[in-house]
Amino acid sequence: MAGAAGEKSDFRLDGASSLSVPEEARRASLIPDVNSTCYQKYVKLSKVGFVPHNPYSASKKVNQDRPFTIPNFRGHSDQALFGVFDGHGSVGHKVSQFIIETLAGICEQNLEGQETEKEIVTALAKSFVDVNNALKEQGKASGKDMIDSRYSGTTAVMCYINGRTVYTANAGDSRATLGKLGEDEKWTAYDLSEDQKPELASEAARIVKHGGRVHACRDYDGQAVGPMRVWLGKQDVPGLAMTRSFGDTIAASVGVIPDPDVTVTQLDDEGQVIIIASDGVWEFITSQEAVDLVAGCKTPADAVKKLTDESTRRWQDEEEVIDDITAVLIYL
C-alpha cells in the first residue's frame, strides 16, 4: 500500500525511490503490485477544481470525482477493476462515493459463473443497472443515508481486466483510452469507450423519443452557448451535458440511462498503458495528446502529475472555472 502524505515508503517505481515522487502524486496513491499478473503497476490522482466567486475558499470546494482501483479482483491475480466516476449536481460527490462503495460487490456477484465473453459483457451491463436501482433506494432512506439524486448523478467508466482481455463499461462522458507502442517506436491512442453526449445522433434520438429536448443553452439573443444539453420537454431543466449516468432521476424521465456500452479489447504482451479519466482531462486534451504526455515520462508518478497539471493549465487558458480532474494510469 502507498504511504500517507508525509510518510516514508520503501516501494520503488521504475527504479525511483518514493522520496523522488512528487508529493501530490504520492498523496494520490502510487502503487506498484508485484502480485498481479495482468498489469505491472498503476497510479491514480484526483484534483479538486475551482469555481470563481465561490462563497467558500478553493480548499473547501468538494471534489466530486472518485477514482476506483481494485487489484486482485475476485481474489484472482490475473483480474483487476479500475474506474473513474465524475459526480455532478449538488450531491454528486455522494452519488460517486456510493457507486465506488457498491459497484465492485455487485459486479462480483453478477460475474459469478460467467465465463464467455458474451456472459461477461451482460454481467457488467447488468451491474450498472443494479447499482443505479440501489441508488434509487437510497433516495428513500432517512437522515444522512438519504441521497437525493433527482438532479445529481455521476458518469462512470470502468475497465475490468481479465487476463489479457479488458472489458470497458462506460456510461457518460468520462473516457478510457489505450496507448500502444508500435514497431516504429511511436505511441498510438485507441479509445476503449465513446463519450456519450447529446451531440451523438443515436443518443439524441433516444432523448427526443422519450419526450426530451436536445439543444445548447441560449443567451439573451437566442444564440447557442456551450455544448448540447438534455432538457425536459416543457421545462428548462436539468441541462445535462451527457446522455447516460447513474442517478439523475429527473433526466431519466426523458431517456438518460445508466446502461453502459461495453467494449472488449485484447491486450498485447508489452508496450501498453490504459488511461482512465474524467472529462476534466478530456475537455481540452485529446486521447492522442494524453498518451503522448504519459509516454514521454520516466515514471508513472511523473506521468499522472504531468497529465493532470496540463489539464489544469488548459482549463486556466480556456475558462474561468476548472473542473475536477481525475486520472488512473494502468501500465500493462
Q: What is the pLDDT of residue 145?
A: 86
Please give the order of strands across the beta sheet that includes 213-218.
Answer: 213-218, 224-231, 238-240
pLDDT-derived band at 203, boundaries 50, 70, 90:
very high
Contact 275, 292 (CB under 8 A): no
From the list 211, 216, 208, the residue with the least C-alpha distance to 239 is 216
pLDDT in tens, 240-290: 999 999 999 999 999 999 999 999 999 987 789 999 999 999 999 999 999
From the list 123, 169, 327, the residue with the least C-alpha distance to 263 is 169
| Mean pLDDT value of segment 318-328 | 95
How deeply is 136 buried, as exposed, middle or buried, from its count of CB atoms within 10 A (0-12, 13-18, 19+)? middle
| Mean pLDDT value of segment 104-131 | 97
| Mean pLDDT value of segment 301-316 | 96
- Start-to-end Cα distance in the chain: 19
| Mean pLDDT value of segment 35-58 | 82
Structural domains for the chain? 25-195+262-331 (3.60.40.10)
Q: What is the pLDDT of residue 142?
A: 82
Q: Choose the weakest-confidence range: 1-10, 197-206, 212-221.
A: 1-10
pLDDT-derived band at 55, boundaries 50, 70, 90:
low
Please give the C-alpha separations between residue 194 and each of 39, 119, 175, 243, 298, in angstroms, as whole numbers. Answer: 23, 22, 7, 12, 29
Of all residues in the chain, the percent with pLDDT exceeding 90 is 80
Q: Choose the weakest-confidence range: 6-10, 85-89, 165-169.
A: 6-10
pLDDT in tens, 153-171: 999 999 999 999 999 999 9
Q: What is the pLDDT of residue 271?
A: 84
Grid coordinates in use for 288? Answer: 492522442
Contact 39, 33 (CB under 8 A): yes
Q: Residue 322: what residue type? A: I
| Mean pLDDT value of segment 176-185 | 94
